Amino acid sequence: GAAGSSGNDGAAGDPDAGGAADDPLAAARAARRFALARAAAQGMVEAAPPALLPPPPPAPEAPPGPPPAPVNAAPAVPIMVETGLDRAARGTPRIALTPGGGDCPEDAAFDVPAWGGEGGPADAIAARRAALIGEFDRPDPAAVLALARLYVHLGFGAEAGAALAAFGAGGEEVERLAALALLVDGAAAAPAAPFAGLEACDGAVALWAVLAAPRLETGAPVAAGAVVRGFSALPLHLRRLLGRPLADRFLDTGDAETARALRDAAERAGGPGGDAIDLVSARIALARGRVDEAEAALAALATRPGPEAAEALALLVETLLSRGAEVAPGHVTAAEAFAYELSGTATGTRLASAHARALAARGEHDAAFAALARMPPGPATAALADALHATLAAGASEASFLRHAFAALPGSAPAAPHRPSGAPARRALAGRLVGLGFGPEAQALLGPAAALPPGDRPLWAAAALAAGDPRAAVAALAGDGSAAAAAIRGDALSRLGDHRGAAAAFAGSDPDRAAAAGWRAAAGGGAASPPAVASALAALAPAVDGATPAEGGGDAPLAAARALLADSAARRTAAAVLLAAYPPP
């Protein structure tokens, strides 16, 4: 709570409420009672059982005066009390229309907290089942709906759906109840029709619309405050049941604050929902950049028995791989075991991918591709194939790389069961193949040059050069003015003997190679040459002109011999410089 000089919409109350205003102490007590009652209604606090409360003091005889304040209004005192839910909702406008212009349903249609019965669950179910059949043994539609609502309130989704189906009920209300039954039962694909586009409604429907959506789009309008308020008002058992999937929806969009508010509300439920909430807490820590804290929590969860262990292990391995950290051998083995146990499920596929990627990161490429071969075709397998081939191109030994890269080529025998399909993985493989001199294989992996996007054509041209086809390289780079294209074009033109064209291609990106190509084109005839080359040419100029060393005086034979030796050494040095600058093809 917070104290201040004025109230707010949630706690200020009716300024005309009399009685309490005449007694500041009584007014403050009344304000506190009102604030605690409102927080209890929001699920922020829980009332103690009556047996644990001390007996109230005898009420003094009330003197005559104005009537007491209404019980549902806070006294007007200079105290402000607000809960975290009030802060979350403050500033969020109430939306009566969906973004598409439709009407938002009334809260009464989704008032799940109010659908409980009198007494315990067994008594409430018995009473409502007894009221199902009316006169002439015909089911009472209102009684069928009441029983289904009770089942939804208790979290018995399958029973609610069976009751609606067994008694042939129909209509919009039945459609909503059937969808709610699937949601409380944890269905992976609940029908979205009753909730489509209602995530932005500032009411009770927002919570169920978020749960029904397969995923929330980042930036899409969502009434997060209404979701938190609706979740906090749910019974404790539903908070345990729905807390994690609801928080996961927001974490997937990067909204860690709303996920934290939902986590806090679910933690107040206590009981056996601890591991699920711990998993949400670990994801929140990851979203906030507290990686060490998250990994420690995930490692602990992965060793506990329960349904969260497998997902915690998958998230732990994925987190370690994303930051380039080593995955412990025990975690690799556990991922393989969980993947086998949960094969055929989304979590099993995720663990199989994490296991194969961890093997590749440890340099065990043969084992990683063997694990890939055991996976059935599908989007997850295709993504894993791309990841493994990219890792192979980046760090595998030449022998291992060539073995798996050649198996990935079109038409290879034996063929890999899952070839790379993404452009980044194919580029990575082709780039390393070109570096090793396997130009035709790189071209086969990339496909026809005409079908490639402009950014991939320099790599295809480099593969053509490695294959000994400079003309195809030049043709593939037509119209490409990038620096990478200019370098490859210059190399191709040099191999074709067009040194003048090569000099023009190198001019904008490599001045030294441009000068060298220009000298080759002009054979030293006025073209600019690198300084070392110019000196070498000057040293060789006497030999080119046919001149001989000057003869000496009286000791002419000895002087001539010495001059010849010195001149020969200078020419040899100049020739070495030229051979180093322009090696023969």
pLDDT digits (tens, 9 = 90+) for 425-478: 999 999 999 999 999 999 999 888 888 888 888 999 999 999 999 999 999 988
Give residue 74's pLDDT band: very low, low, confident or very high (50, 70, 90): very low
pLDDT tops 90 at residue 360:
yes
Mean pLDDT of the chain: 78
Residue 68 has a pLDDT of 45
| CB-based contact 98:200 (threshold 8 Å) | yes
Sole residue written with tokens 């441009």:
514
pLDDT tens sequence across 260-282: 888 888 877 555 557 888 888 88
Percent of the chain with pLDDT over 70: 77
Interacting residues of 214 by C-beta distance below 8 A, sequence separation 6+: 189, 192
* DSSP secondary structure, 290-342, as one string: -HHHHHHHHHHHHTSSSTHHHHHHHHHHHHHHHTTPPPPHHHHHHHHHHHHHT
Residue type, 287: A
* Confidence (pTM): 0.63
pLDDT tops 50 at residue 36:
yes
Interacting residues of 140 by C-beta distance below 8 A, sequence separation 6+: 131, 132, 133, 134
The more confident residue out of 318 and 161 is: 318
Report the pLDDT averaged over residues 116-142: 78
- Range in 265-269, 322-326, 510-514 with the lowest mean pLDDT: 265-269
Q: Which residue, among 309, 311, 351, has the nearest Cα to 333 in the 3D structure?
A: 351
Residue 500 has a pLDDT of 85
CA–CA separation, 233 and 229 (whole Å): 6
Please state the three-class secondary structure of 460-508 as a single string: HHHHHHHCCCHHHHHHHCCCCCCHHHHHHHHHHHHHCCCHHHHHHHHCC
